Every structure is written in C-alpha cells, then in structure tokens.
C-alpha cells in the first residue's frame, strides 16, 4: 500500500479508534465518520479529516473500513441514503470488520459487489490496546484474489490473517468465537455465584480456578473482576455480547437441530443486557447472584 493511499474509516468505538489510528501510522490519508465527532478529536489532531457522512468519507477512497455495532448500523453506513457505497469509486476495497450476522455478511457483500466494489468480511479478535498497536487477528472471508487486493489495507491492523474461505466465512468463525466466550463467561458467573453462596474462601477459589483445567483467557480475565465486583473500564459490554451470541445462535440453529447451551447463554445475556446493557459483560454475575445459602 502506497503511503498516499486514501482510507475511509467508519465507526470509532473502543476498537475503531485504535484501528483508524493505525492507518495514520501507516502514512495514509484518512477520512473518518462516526455518529459522535467527539470520539474523533484525537485522530483529527493527528491529521485525519472528519467527514460529514459515510458517503463523504468514502468519496475517492481506495479502501473503506467499517467497525460498527450491528447489522442495522452496518446497513446504514454502507447502503443508507448517505452510505459509503453511494459514493465509493469502482474497484475500492470494502472491508467490513464489524461483528455482524452471517446472512448480513452475505447480503452486504452482494450489494457492494453489485456497485463495483471488492467486498470482504474481516471481523477481528483482540482488545482495544491490540487494535492501537496493530496486533489484531483478522478473521477473513474473501475470494483469494480479493484477499490479495485487500492485504495492504489489512496489514496495518494486524499481521495474523486467518482466511476461512469465501465471504461470510470469517464472520462464521467470529460468531463461533464470541459464542464460546459468552458460554465461558456465563458459566464462570454461575460457578462463582455458587461458591459465594456456599461460603467458600473466594481468594482460594480464584487461585484454584487460575491454576485448574477450566482456566481460559476469558476465565482468567473475568474471575477476579467478578469476585471484586469491579467492572470499571469495560472492554466489551453486555449488550454487545448478547448481540453476538444471538447472531451466533441464529446461525447455529440453521445448521444443527438443537443448541441448548447456546440458547441458555443467549437468554442469560438477555437478562444481563436488561440489567446493565452498556456495562462490562462480567456484570452478568450480578444477575445470577443470590443471597448466601445460610441466609435463605
């Protein structure tokens, strides 16, 4: 990718801010759009242009990258009245990094291709600090030739590219990944709630979990925060986890006859979303916690 490449970046949430900054680091000309301009101020100070709309951001861009919340937001920023696809030049690389539903990934790619764009899905794994350092893992769905065209615009985001197959395949794996994470976190919340109610030494419980066979990165990350009820600086909200799990369940139920564990997890996160949608996903423990058995 030439340093003079023009990139449009749409969606400046916790992940998007760091991702957009990587294109500035790479020497690109960057146009930004986000519903709230305040989230773009640091990037504007570094030389990015804040656009009036997704269409304004995409005009003349060599690549357009989106990182928004869900199917509805993705449809709006790409295909809405002032969507990026309305002004994107033929041959521009359209990269959907948002976690969307499988059917949306397919439908969006078809709509973008019909407008002459090169469309791939590339959801990511990694936390906001990894996004800012260009250390994300990219989960790609694309035709091989399209991936080759997109690689220069993926490189600033991360060097690990996992190509799962045609468009939509990257989204399939991302939904599996996030569903499994939701199951682990929900299971952890219930396990810790049981331990609390039974009166166990929670420091010993945490030590045992961290050194036991059930320790996963999700468990190790969330267990201390759940026990301390410390949900400051959330990296992923209950609403987003519920959304991803629901998208994953819809895909799963189209492929397999029964998914009871996944269904239960979606229901659990539905309650967490109702309780505190914008708080850290680990707050699900407050939904399942009850008074100690001795007080029942």
In this structure, is residue 84 part of a structural domain?
yes
Cα–Cα distance for residue pair 227/225, rounded to 1 Å:
6
Chosen domain end from 167, 189, 213: 167
Question: Residue 113 sits in a domain of what CATH number?
Answer: 3.40.50.720
Question: Residue 216 sits in a domain of what CATH number?
Answer: 1.10.1040.10
Whether 221 and 96 map to the same domain: the answer is: no
Whether 181 and 79 map to the same domain: the answer is: no
Whether 147 and 282 map to the same domain: the answer is: no
Asked whether 49 and 25 are in contact (CB, 8 A), the reply is no
Dihedral, CA of residue 221, residue 222, residue 228 and residue 231, to nearest 10: 100
pLDDT digits (tens, 9 = 90+) for 25-53: 999 999 999 999 999 999 999 999 999 99
Confidence band, pLDDT 50/70/90 cuts, at residue 93 = very high
Confidence band, pLDDT 50/70/90 cuts, at residue 3 = low
In this structure, is residue 13 part of a structural domain?
yes
Per-residue pLDDT at 72: 98
Coil, strand or helix: which one is 144? helix
Per-residue pLDDT at 290: 63
Per-residue pLDDT at 211: 96
Q: How many independent structural domains does the chain possess? A: 2
Whether 248 and 113 map to the same domain: the answer is: no
Mean of per-residue pLDDT scores for the chain: 95
Whether 182 and 113 map to the same domain: the answer is: no
Q: Please determine, for residue 103, whether its predicted confidence score (pLDDT) is greater than 90.
A: yes
Rounded to 5 degrees, what are φ and ψ at 218? -65, -45
Whether 139 and 220 map to the same domain: the answer is: no
Q: Please determine, for residue 294, whether its predicted confidence score (pLDDT) is greater than 50.
A: no
Asked whether 117 and 91 are in contact (CB, 8 A), the reply is yes
Q: Looking at residues 170-174, what average pLDDT do you find? A: 98
Coil, strand or helix: which one is 38? helix
Whether 77 and 160 map to the same domain: the answer is: yes
174 included as an active-site residue: yes
Domain that holds residue 32: 6-167
Asked whether 86 and 33 are in contact (CB, 8 A), the reply is no
Q: Please determine, for residue 291, whether its predicted confidence score (pLDDT) is greater than 70.
A: no
Q: Which helix (H) or strand (E) holds 284?
A: helix 284-288
In this structure, is residue 273 part of a structural domain?
yes
Q: Looking at residues 211-215, what average pLDDT do you find? A: 95
Q: Kindly provide the b/e burial profile for residues 233-246, where b requires at least 16 CB atoms within 10 angstroms of the residue's own CB.
A: ebebbbbbbbbbbb
Find the catalytic residue in 37, 135, 174, 292: 174
Which pTM was predicted? 0.94
Chosen domain end from 167, 188, 217: 167
Cα–Cα distance for residue pair 86/107, rounded to 1 Å:
16
Whether 196 and 163 map to the same domain: the answer is: no
Q: Looking at residues 138-159, what average pLDDT do you find? A: 98
Whether 130 and 99 map to the same domain: the answer is: yes
In this structure, is residue 1 part of a structural domain?
no
Rounded to 5 degrees, what are φ and ψ at 92? -65, 150
Whether 153 and 22 map to the same domain: the answer is: yes
Burial of residue 59 (CB within 10 Å: 0-12, 13-18, 19+) is: middle
DSSP state of 189: H
Dihedral, CA of residue 122, residue 126, residue 127 and residue 128, to nearest 10: -40
Coil, strand or helix: which one is 153? helix
Other C-beta atoms closer than 10 Å to the C-beta of 230 total 11
Chosen domain end from 115, 136, 167: 167
Per-residue pLDDT at 4: 77
Whether 282 and 189 map to the same domain: the answer is: yes
Q: Please determine, for residue 106, whether its predicted confidence score (pLDDT) is greater than 80.
A: yes
Cα–Cα distance for residue pair 181/185, rounded to 1 Å:
6
Q: Looking at residues 257-284, what average pLDDT do you find? A: 95
The residue among 235 and 13 whose pLDDT is bigger is 13
Q: Measure the N-to-C terminal CA separation of the chain; round to a whole number of Å.
A: 64
In this structure, is residue 222 part of a structural domain?
yes
Q: Please determine, for residue 295, whether its predicted confidence score (pLDDT) is greater than 50.
A: no
Whether 17 and 131 map to the same domain: the answer is: yes
């Amino acid at each position: 990718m030439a340093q003079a490449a023009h990139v449009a970046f749409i969606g400046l949430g916790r992940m998007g801010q760091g991702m957009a900054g990587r294109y500035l680091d790479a020497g690109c000309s960057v146009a930004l759009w986000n519903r709230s301009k305040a989230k773009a101020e640091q990037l504007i100070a570094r030389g990015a242009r804040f656009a009036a709309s997704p269409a304004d951001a995409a005009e003349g861009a060599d690549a357009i990258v989106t990182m928004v919340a869900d199917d509805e937001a993705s449809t709006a920023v790409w295909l809405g009245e002032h969507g990026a696809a309305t002004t994107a030049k033929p041959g521009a690389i359209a990269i959907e990094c948002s976690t969307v539903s499988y059917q949306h990934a397919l439908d969006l790619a078809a709509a973008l291709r019909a407008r002459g764009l090169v469309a791939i899905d590339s959801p990511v794994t990694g936390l906001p600090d990894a996004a800012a350092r260009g250390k994300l893992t990219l989960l790609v769905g694309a035709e091989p030739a399209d991936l080759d065209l997109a690689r220069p615009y993926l490189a600033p985001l991360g060097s690990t590219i996992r190509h799962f197959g045609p468009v939509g395949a990257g989204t399939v794996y991302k939904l599996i990944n996030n569903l499994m994470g939701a199951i682990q976190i929900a299971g952890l919340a219930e396990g810790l709630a049981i331990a609390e109610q039974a009166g166990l030494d929670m420091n010993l419980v945490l030590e045992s979990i961290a050194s036991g066979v059930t320790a996963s990165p999700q468990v190790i990350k969330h267990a201390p925060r759940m026990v301390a009820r410390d949900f400051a600086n959330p990296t992923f909200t209950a609403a987003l986890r519920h959304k991803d799990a629901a998208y994953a369940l819809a895909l799963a139920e189209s492929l397999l006859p029964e998914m009871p564990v996944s269904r239960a997890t979606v229901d659990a996160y539905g309650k967490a979303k109702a309780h505190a949608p914008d708080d850290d996903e680990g707050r699900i423990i407050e939904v399942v916690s009850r008074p100690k058995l001795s007080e029942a």
